């Protein structure tokens, strides 16, 4: 494994205790989570920690008060920031370009719970349904649900209508399974005829896919005894209340464009809301780090509790992903380094052992630490080259 990483969990080897809160407080708490060698040890000081899945059901509150509406100034900043135009090209890992991802395909996001539980602040994240899991766990004060695929943005409109219609998780899932009931709910909650037409079109296209995803995800969470918005009424209510309070916005924002992400950063500052959770899925595998991407991430007002969560595809081995946690400010600092050109240059890759090997990486190394190691390696190579020249 890469020397600049800390490996904190594997589904096939979980032994650490998750019964005490461990949401990150900058790199120091990250290190506290990952330093004790309670699991198997890998080479170069990499430690594998783990957790019994049943304990994850303990995470999350038992009740919440209804959320208040934002202030007038917060509302104006929240809904008034600019969007990016829909993407002309849908990127992807080689061979998967051009696809519309209308349902998530990450099945072990609960590995992130001890790091994101109760973070509050602002949530920003891509994807079709993943945000609702993270909102239930992290309990943000505001949530920006972003995507560059306009179909995904419209699909969030269907989710919104169904959250408004359904008071519990089972009723919400039923609306995805029963076309007549779902269609009637859209008629009740669409803002106007133009929106209704868009929602009905994307509902027809995505209904079976989303229904299958939600049922499978719910069953998976139940099997692992994990509380989430699909299995826990209070978490579902928190997501629903965030929508009812006008604190959730689905919008067109492209990580590689110039308006959406920077507008979110400006809005969050104006609202006095630090960004505590940024979810990138595996989007970084689609491109090298370009100037606009760097500027977009730099625009987000992370505080010391801010976290980036991402996945890296390992589908050919385990039909899933590698799950990664990193302090937000640390990621921003890496992006300021000209030599940092892509996610795999920063996040290490370990050869997985098989289908049951689902890895969580908590990456805490700072840019200064990595650059010191890079310089030391370069110095060693230079000394070796000098000795070879003298021998000649």
The answer to whether residue 23 sits within a structural domain is: yes
| Each residue's pLDDT tens digit, 44-54 | 222 222 332 32
The backbone torsions φ and ψ at residue 310, rounded to the nearest 5 degrees and listed phi first, read -145, 165
The answer to whether residue 258 sits within a structural domain is: yes
The answer to whether residue 21 sits within a structural domain is: yes
List, as own/partner pairs, every contact residues 370-373 make where C-beta atoms lie below 8 angstroms and the sequence separation is at least 24, other chains included: 370/4, 370/334, 370/346, 371/337, 373/3, 373/4
| Each residue's pLDDT tens digit, 177-202 | 999 999 999 999 999 999 999 999 99
Domain that holds residue 33: 7-153+250-391
pTM: 0.82
The answer to whether residue 264 sits within a structural domain is: yes
Name which of 280, 235, 259 is nearest 118 in CA terms.
235
Bigger pLDDT: 35 vs 266 = 266
Number of domains observed in the structure of the chain:
1
The answer to whether residue 131 sits within a structural domain is: yes
| Each residue's pLDDT tens digit, 210-243 | 999 999 999 999 999 999 999 999 999 999 999 9
Find how far residue 216's CA is from the centre of its chain.
19
Cα distance between residue 306 and residue 125, in whole Å: 13
Q: How do 7-10 and 359-362 pair as beta strands?
A: antiparallel
Sheet containing strand 142-147, edge to edge, reads 7-10, 359-362, 321-327, 302-313, 275-279, 122-125, 142-147, 248-252
Name which of 352, 366, 279, 365 is nearest 313 in CA terms.
352
Cα distance between residue 153 and residue 245, in whole Å: 19
| Each residue's pLDDT tens digit, 294-350 | 999 999 999 999 999 999 999 888 889 999 999 999 999 999 999 999 998 888 888
The answer to whether residue 100 sits within a structural domain is: yes
| Each residue's pLDDT tens digit, 76-112 | 999 999 999 987 766 665 666 667 789 999 999 999 9
Do 161 and 199 contact (CB within 8 A), yes or no?
Answer: yes
The answer to whether residue 162 sits within a structural domain is: no
Residue with token string 């920006």: 144
Q: Tell which phi-psi region holds residue 45, choosing left (phi > 0), alpha (psi between -120 and 50) or beta.
A: left
The answer to whether residue 224 sits within a structural domain is: no
Do 357 and 350 contact (CB within 8 A), yes or no?
Answer: no
pLDDT at 318: 87
């Amino acid at each position: 494994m890469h020397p600049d990483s800390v490996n904190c969990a594997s589904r096939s080897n979980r032994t650490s205790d998750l019964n005490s809160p461990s949401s990150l407080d900058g790199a120091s708490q990250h290190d506290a989570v990952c330093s004790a060698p309670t699991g198997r040890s890998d080479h170069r000081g990499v430690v594998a920690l783990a957790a019994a899945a049943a304990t994850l059901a303990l995470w999350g509150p038992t009740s919440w008060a209804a959320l208040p509406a934002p202030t007038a100034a917060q509302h104006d900043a929240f809904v008034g920031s600019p969007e990016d135009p829909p993407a002309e090209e849908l990127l992807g890992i080689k061979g998967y370009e051009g696809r519309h991802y209308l349902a998530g395909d990450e099945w072990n996001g609960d590995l992130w719970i001890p790091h994101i539980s109760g973070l509050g602040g602002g949530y920003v994240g891509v994807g079709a349904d993943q945000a609702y899991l993270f909102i239930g766990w992290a309990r943000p004060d505001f949530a920006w649900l972003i995507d560059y695929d306009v179909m995904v943005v419209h699909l969030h409109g269907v989710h919104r209508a169904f959250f408004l219609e359904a008071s519990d998780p089972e009723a919400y899932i039923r609306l995805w399974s029963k076309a007549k009931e779902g269609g009637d709910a859209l008629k009740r909650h669409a803002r106007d005829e133009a929106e209704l037409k868009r929602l009905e079109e994307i509902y027809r296209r995505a209904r079976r896919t989303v229904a299958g995803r939600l049922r499978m995800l719910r069953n998976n969470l139940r099997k692992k005894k994990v509380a989430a918005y699909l299995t826990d009424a209070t978490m579902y209510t928190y997501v629903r209340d965030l929508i009812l309070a006008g604190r959730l916005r689905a919008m067109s924002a492209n990580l590689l464009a110039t308006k959406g992400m920077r507008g979110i950063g400006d809005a969050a500052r104006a609202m006095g809301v630090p960004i505590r959770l940024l979810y990138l899925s595996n989007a970084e595998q689609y491109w090298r780090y370009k100037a606009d991407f760097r500027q977009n991430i730099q625009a987000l007002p992370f505080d010391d509790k801010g976290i980036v969560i991402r996945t890296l595809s390992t589908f050919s081995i385990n039909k899933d992903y590698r799950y990664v946690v990193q302090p937000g400010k640390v990621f921003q600092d890496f992006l300021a380094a000209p030599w940092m050109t892509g996610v795999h240059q920063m996040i290490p890759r370990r050869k997985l052992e098989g289908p049951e090997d689902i890895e969580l990486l908590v990456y805490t190394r700072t840019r200064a630490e990595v650059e010191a190691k890079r310089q030391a390696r370069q110095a060693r190579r230079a000394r070796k080259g000098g000795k070879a020249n003298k021998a000649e």
